[in-house]
Structure 1
Amino acid sequence: MKTLIIGPSWVGDMMMSQSLYRVMKTINPEAEIEVMAPAWCRALLNKMPEVSKAIPMPLGHGQFALKQRYQLGKSLRNDNYEQAIVLPNSFKSALIPFFASIPKRTGWKGEQRYGLLNDIRTLDKQAFPLMVERYIALAYPKDKVLSANDLPKPLLYPKLVVEAQDAIKAKIEFNLPEQMPLIGFCPGAEFGPAKRWPDYHYAKLADMLVEQEAKIVIFGSDKDKQVGDAIISQMAFPERCINLAGSTSLEQAVNLIACCKAIVSNDSGLMHIAAALGRPLVALYGPSSPDFTPPLSDKAEIIRLISGYHKVRRGDDQAGYHQSLIDIKPELVFERLMKLLDNDASHLVAE
């Protein structure tokens, strides 16, 4: 079975899609899985052993571009795909497999995609409360899995594979110490500070971890560099923290996160990457809810002080932080992090 996956365009969603690929390989170890996704996804797809090929999607998110989609689909007609699985719910995302004349085209109904998909599923959101369950269900015939209860348990979580030499190379490139344990911070989040734990809390936690002989490494995109600098500026031991936000490629960030003893993160794509790397993870939630897209890891500890989903783009205080995240104190995060590390600070030693 050679399958084309039309992949998601967001880091977190791309990470959760790996659960589908792992299940497909469990069902059929000979399955050949190729994923079409934005070019930046290659850094993640290359670390998913189940994916045989990453095909760059040249069209931007939200771009309809009917003519280009037709040409892309036509170019795939001789690739002998037996099935396509379309993960995004948009109408346009189903066009390329249709134009490629792939015999079986599977996906949730989404934006009324009758005809484009011929193995179309009607989603009962209550039956599949988690996004990862909705992805995995597409690996099975529609009449076999009617709810999440029908999925084999435990669910196969995403599991990125980082080669040892790549991790070592990344540490050398950024001059990170070999012997000092690294704790990663991911202080960024989409849509501004309302989903971010305050920079001053990160700074306080950083100093507490430095006292346990750790070095702090801040990860993120270029737009997170400012918050990283703000964290360092408020630390008592700023020399024990390095801000790599905006300085790494995504692949380098993945390799370095794999080197960390633990990660503290807001609700973000990097949180899902840390979970897939099996790092002890404290995930901090405020207005956004972990009920739909939680970190998929047995080593993740979620801290959230409120319930429900709150569509908030700006928080309560002058900096835009949400009160529910302000109320999560560094001492609580430190306590949960130490618990993840077996409640023994001596475990903060380099391997």
Structure 2
Amino acid sequence: MTILVRLPNWLGDLVMSGAFVRACAEFYGGPVDVIVRRELAPLAPLLGPVGEVVPFGREDARSPLRWVRLHRAAGGRRHDRFFCLPDSFSSALGAFASRSRHRIGYAHEGRSFLLTHAYPKPPGVHRVLEYRNLLDAYSGADGAPPPRVVLGGEALERARSPLAGPATARPLILFNPNSAAQSRRLPPGMAAALADRLLEEFAGTLAIPGSGSERVFSEEVRRRTRRPERCVNLAGKTDGLALAALCRSADLVVSTDSGIAHLAAALGRPVAVLFGAGDPDGTAPFTEAPLEVVRAPGVDCSPCVVNRCAHAEPPCLTGIGEEQVLAACRSLLGRKPGGPDHSGGF
């Protein structure tokens, strides 16, 4: 039995699909081939038993002919089963082009005619369970084994963090104020003030990750802190595996509702997630690692799950107090208020 899985397009969703990949490989008794965005392709083997990784770029997605050819040639063979995790019409078109005997996905955007098995999406469930339900609905796997989102593998063991080594003062705090969505991104002034409080409370080094497009914003945050020399702007300087290694090396991760929060949690790091427009019941990190979800109290419009807020600065984020965040971080690290305590080591 040969399996091809179209993985999600965003880092957080990719991480959350790991439970599906592991369950699928276990159910069918072997590794699964995957199609994934080129930027995320290095992380695909961390999800579980993955065979062939077929990357694609924007140039492929924008050309119907290239899109069809890519899926038809995926893995060098015609697969028995194609699982389509994204909801988009284009992903179902790719499934159809693959000529897989069974093409499985959720009914959405009028794409059901491209699939051989189209199922209604279960309402009100976590994204991890949504992905896993697709396998259960088709195969009758019935939720066994229970879903777990963990990352690992040889590629991760070989990856090296850009802040590895004794020169980095501990604890290493990975602070991510960024998000692709304006409704989930901290305003720069708030981000800088929170970075100051984190350094005041825990000392050490504060690293700001992000994509190349977020480098200017991250640098603005760094410069507006009172101790910019203790902040490192790594936006645009880490590929997928280096970012994973950076997350794994962190002592504490404080992040907006973004892919980095999911990646760090799946690597077993303590994570405080600052939720804005998103709904934690549906998209909070699905983890057994220490996790604190921080939300602003009393914001009637939250969660709205839109990407752009009607306000210049989302009240669901600006309403989060610094003490709320610090209390969550102390809980994660087992600290008492009042500044750094290195007696236990890191």
| Same topology, TM > 0.5 | yes
Q: Which amino acid aligns with 1:323?
A: P
Q: Which amino acid aligns with 2:186?
A: W
1:219 matched to 2:212: no
- The corresponding residue for 2:11 is 11
Task: Deviation per CA, 1:289-312: give whole Å up to 9, x if none.
Answer: 223211222322111123432636
1:166 matched to 2:166: no
1:308 matched to 2:303: yes
- List gaps (5 residues or longer) in structure 2: none
CA distance in 2, matches of 1:42, 1:77: 14
Closer/same/farther in 2, CA of residues 25 and 62 from structure 1, 3 Å limit:
closer
- The corresponding residue for 2:269 is 279
- The corresponding residue for 1:52 is 51
User: CA shift at 1:14, angstroms?
Assistant: 1.4
SS in 2 for 1:311: coil
CA distance in 2, matches of 1:98, 1:285: 37
Q: Aligned ranges for residues 207-286 of structure 1 at < 5 Å?
A: 207-211=196-200, 212-286=202-276
SS in 1 for 2:13: helix
CA distance in 1, matches of 2:74, 2:319: 52
Q: Which amino acid aligns with 2:314?
A: H
User: CA shift at 1:256, angstroms?
Assistant: 1.0
1:130 matched to 2:121: no
TM normalised by structure 1 equals: 0.84
CA distance in 2, matches of 1:250, 1:215: 21
TM normalised by structure 2 equals: 0.86
CA distance in 2, matches of 1:74, 1:90: 18
CA distance in 2, matches of 1:107, 1:216: 41
CA distance in 2, matches of 1:110, 1:312: 20
Q: Which amino acid aligns with 2:21?
A: Y
- The corresponding residue for 2:66 is 68
- The corresponding residue for 1:335 is 327
Closer/same/farther in 2, CA of residues 93 and 312 from structure 1, 3 Å limit:
closer
User: Aligned match of 1:104 in 81, 102, 105?
Assistant: 102
CA distance in 2, matches of 1:39, 1:310: 27
- The corresponding residue for 1:191 is 181
Q: Which amino acid aligns with 1:263?
A: V
User: Aligned match of 1:89 in 74, 87, 90?
Assistant: 87
Q: Aligned ranges for residues 288-299 of structure 1 at < 5 Å?
A: 288-298=278-288, 299=290
- The corresponding residue for 2:33 is 34
Q: Which amino acid aligns with 2:43?
A: L
Task: Deviation per CA, 1:278-336: give whole Å up to 9, x if none.
Answer: 211111112232232112223221111234326362464xxx32122112122211111
SS in 2 for 1:185: strand
SS in 1 for 2:52: strand
Answer whether contact 1:179 1:349 (CA < 8 A) is retained: no
Q: Which amino acid aligns with 1:26?
A: E
Task: Deviation per CA, 1:26-72: give whole Å up to 9, x if none.
Answer: 334x3221111111111211323321221012455863x33223323
Closer/same/farther in 2, CA of residues 118 and 337 from structure 1, 3 Å limit:
same
Task: Deviation per CA, 1:204-258: give whole Å up to 9, x if none.
Answer: 3333333433210000112322332232233232211111112222332221111
Aligned residues: 336
User: CA shift at 1:272, angstroms?
Assistant: 1.7
- The corresponding residue for 1:156 is 148
Higher helix proportion: 2
Task: Deviation per CA, 1:66-115: give whole Å up to 9, x if none.
Answer: 32233234334952422110112223312333233211211112233344
- Identity over the aligned pairs, expressed in percent? 26
CA distance in 2, matches of 1:133, 1:328: 29
Closer/same/farther in 2, CA of residues 310 and 112 from structure 1, 3 Å limit:
closer
